[in-house]
Amino acid sequence: MQIEKSKIEELRGLLATPQRIVILAHTNPDGDAVGSSLAWAEILKSEGHDVTCIVPNRFPYYLDFMPHCQSMVIYKNDSEGAASKAVKGADIIFCLDFHTMSRLDGLSDLIDENQHAKRVLIDHHLDPMEDFDLMLSYPKASSTCYLVSLIVEQLYGAERITRDMAENLFVGMMTDTGNFAFSSVTPDVFRMVSVLASKEISIPDIHNNVYNSFTEGRARLFGYVINRKMKIFHNGTVAHMSLTADELKRFWFQQGDSEGFVNYPLTIKKMKMSAIFTEHSDFIRVSLRSRGDIDVNIFAQRYFNGGGHKNAAGGKSFMTMDETLKFFEEKVKEYAAEGMLK
């Protein structure tokens, strides 16, 4: 895969002189959002730019090993106003791993206050919904970290990728492809993995930090949700799970503890679609996954004001949990009647 030369040259022009830059990632930042932001920030800093990385809320604790992650400003906890100062003074705002400002929650209002900054999108989600001065939007790309790797390679050369950058980029590429198992993985993804591996990163250590560093509470929560909260219906092809605020509190829930739960029902034979509903203070978070040609991006857009990818999407519900589950089951029947669950 190649980024169009015209877009690379336009980006080069924007970065020709030192700029005040803000890099934004989405709410509930995952490995791809954090990894791409940190890697892009490092290369830009090395070019003499003033760079601030901002995330709306805390990233999962099991990503705390990622190089330079503690330099990220967490807007929700930003009592000193560092995020506000950086955004208001920014010349360029990079939006990484999200396709609409709604994924920034309250941070989007702050961004709207700066109307002079150039806005650049680097993302792999379907149907970007905002106007940007430069759009590096590639829905077929496996991850935003893969895109950042390509951009750095074409803009500065692969030799400029440091060990820290390689580690951060590998985290995002690994997590957003299900350990390189999704259909979005191409031969060029493995080529880029070999480039990152040549920087002497420890792939076993990275894997262990991401997938084998959970809390006891998370392990017990997983057992509970699979044993007590998983409902299989529609002739064994659809499953949903749900977790209320009280249930999360009972298992000492921390940000990221439920990550990956939604994938587990898809290990069951015949299963085509899986959902998990997690209660927050003022909404219910919806996560959807599917196999093969079942498009949960369309489902999320149509019924939960969300979106994402063909086999992985999300949204929100503002109904009660019981109402949300009933609504989901009804809409699954409707979706199936249209031939969308074959």
**pLDDT on residue 313:** 93
State which of 191, 210, 229 marks the end of a domain. 210
Lowest mean pLDDT among 126-135, 168-177, 313-322: 126-135
CATH number at residue 40: 3.90.1640.10
pLDDT digits (tens, 9 = 90+) for 165-180: 999 999 999 999 989 9
Q: Residue with structure tokens 């390509």?
A: 150
State which of 147, 178, 210 marks the end of a domain. 210
The parent domain of residue 280 ranges over 217-337
Residue 162 in this model has a pLDDT that exceeds 80: yes
At position 52, the amino acid (one-letter code) is T
**pLDDT on residue 269:** 95
Examine residue 300 and state whether it is found in any structural domain, yes or no: yes
Examine residue 342 and state whether it is found in any structural domain, yes or no: no
| Contact (Cβ atoms closer than 8 angstroms) between residue 173 and residue 211 | no
Q: Structural domain tally of the chain?
A: 2
- The rounded mean pLDDT for the chain is 95
Residue 66 in this model has a pLDDT that exceeds 80: yes
Residue 102 in this model has a pLDDT that exceeds 80: no
**pLDDT on residue 255:** 86
Query: Is residue 103 located within the same domain as residue 206?
Result: yes
Residue 128 in this model has a pLDDT that exceeds 90: no
Examine residue 317 and state whether it is found in any structural domain, yes or no: yes
Query: Is residue 203 located within the same domain as residue 246?
Result: no
In degrees, to the nearest 5, what angle opens at C-alpha 207 toward C-alphas 145 and 241?
A: 85
Query: Is residue 159 located within the same domain as residue 235?
Result: no
Query: Is residue 298 located within the same domain as residue 254?
Result: yes
Examine residue 98 and state whether it is found in any structural domain, yes or no: yes
Query: Can you point out the beta strands (E) in 221-283?
Result: 231-233, 238-243, 273-279
Whole-model pTM? 0.91
Examine residue 111 and state whether it is found in any structural domain, yes or no: yes
Residue 129 in this model has a pLDDT that exceeds 80: no
Query: Is residue 226 located within the same domain as residue 173?
Result: no
Residue 276: strand pairing partners = 241, 287
Share of the chain above pLDDT 90, in %: 89
Query: Is residue 158 located within the same domain as residue 249?
Result: no
CATH number at residue 259: 3.10.310.30
Averaged pLDDT, 221-230:
97
Residue 23: strand pairing partners = 53, 94
**Which token pair is 250?**
């009972």
Residue 134 in this model has a pLDDT that exceeds 80: yes
Q: Which of 83, 89, 31, 92 is nearest to 60 (CA)?
A: 31
Query: Is residue 244 located within the same domain as residue 193?
Result: no
Query: Is residue 20 located within the same domain as residue 159?
Result: yes
Examine residue 104 and state whether it is found in any structural domain, yes or no: yes
Query: Is residue 116 located within the same domain as residue 137?
Result: yes
Q: Residue with structure tokens 């700066």?
A: 114
| Strand, helix or coil for residue 107 | helix
Give pairs for 207-215: CB < 8 Å, separation 24+. 207/174, 207/179, 209/62, 209/65, 210/31, 210/62, 210/63, 210/171, 210/174, 210/175, 213/62, 213/65, 214/62, 214/257, 215/61, 215/252, 215/254, 215/257
Q: How far is CA 253 from CA 83, 210, 218, 270, 279, in A?
A: 27, 17, 7, 31, 12
Query: Is residue 120 located within the same domain as residue 227?
Result: no
Q: Which of 230, 232, 256 is nearest to 243 (CA)?
A: 230
Examine residue 152 and state whether it is found in any structural domain, yes or no: yes
Examine residue 75 and state whether it is found in any structural domain, yes or no: yes
State which of 155, 181, 210 marks the end of a domain. 210
**pLDDT on residue 13:** 98
Residue 32's H or E segment, with its range, is helix 31-46
Query: Is residue 257 located within the same domain as residue 321?
Result: yes
Query: Is residue 16 located within the same domain as residue 161?
Result: yes
Averaged pLDDT, 292-319:
94
Share of the chain above pLDDT 70, in %: 100
Residue 135: strand pairing partners = 121
